[in-house]
A = this chain, B = another copy of it.
Amino acid sequence: MAQERALPPVVERLWGREPVSRRGPRPRLDLGMITSAAIEIADAEGLTGVSMASVASRVGVAATALYRYVGSKEDLLTAMVDFVVSAPPDPAGRPWRDYLALWTRAQRDTLLEHPWLLQIARLTPPLGPRRLLWLDRLLAALDGVGLDDGEKINVASALTGYALTDAALVTTVGGGEPQFDDAGIEGADDYGEVLAGLLDPEAYPALSAAVRGGALRGAEGWVDDGDFRFGLELLLDGVEALISRRASGEDAG
């Protein structure tokens, strides 16, 4: 109820609280139009294509006009992160484990569809309406399993982190267009071979052995969908272990 907080103005706008102008010309834009334009550019050309000028020209105004709506380019990026997120799946009637898997996979898919998200290192706790909705649904899905709210939030955090890591892996080494075309590996079918050329077996015994064994050969080593499931089940097994521990009346460490 103490709503008089000093929120960043972009966040206010994200929640639909655009300032009500009584006098003056109608604003030609709103945060949504600007952000959508920016997202379209990022999807098409990558984040490097997103400049204040390019976004402005796409919505048909001068570059400096955008500053009526966002305080800075950082603000715009923040808004983009919230706006790309679609509506979370509905947890109603789903077993928690299924829902968590679905939830995490959907997050990963979003990251894969908009790889530039990975370049916006905005691992900040979310404040936008869309991302918070995801959190809400996860909490709802975990209702009644015996975890407290803090634990549920930690679970959410771990899952989000995993989605991020995996998406980053897939994007850089395996999947589609190389988004980070700079110091990464290109197609990297040969990541293993590259490593084999670099590693001194004496200094890196275990890794050398793994490479020789072919564990990193191309897509098989890193970017398989099976690999995603693997880590996901790892996490979910952990959650399940915790839940049954709680159910048997133990306390936390």
For residue A193, give the distance in angstroms from its CB to the closest CB of chain B: 7
The answer, yes or no, to whether A62 is at the interface (CB within 8 Å) is no
**Cα(A205)–Cα(B238), bound, Å:** 26
Q: Give the dominant DSSP class at A's interface.
A: helix
**Cα(A143)–Cα(B210), bound, Å:** 11
A150, A183, A205, A213: most-surrounded residue (chain B CB, <10 A): A183
Residues of B within 8 A of A122 (CB): 180, 183
The answer, yes or no, to whether A158 is at the interface (CB within 8 Å) is yes
The answer, yes or no, to whether A185 is at the interface (CB within 8 Å) is yes
Residue of B nearest to A148 (CB): B215
Known: A121-B168, A161-B165, A226-B253. 6 other contacts (CB 8 A): A78-B183, A139-B206, A153-B215, A161-B164, A161-B166, A162-B162
Question: What are 15 pairs between A and B in contact, CB < 8 Å?
Answer: A72-B182, A119-B121, A120-B121, A124-B180, A127-B185, A136-B204, A136-B206, A139-B206, A150-B220, A153-B216, A161-B165, A162-B162, A226-B253, A234-B238, A238-B241
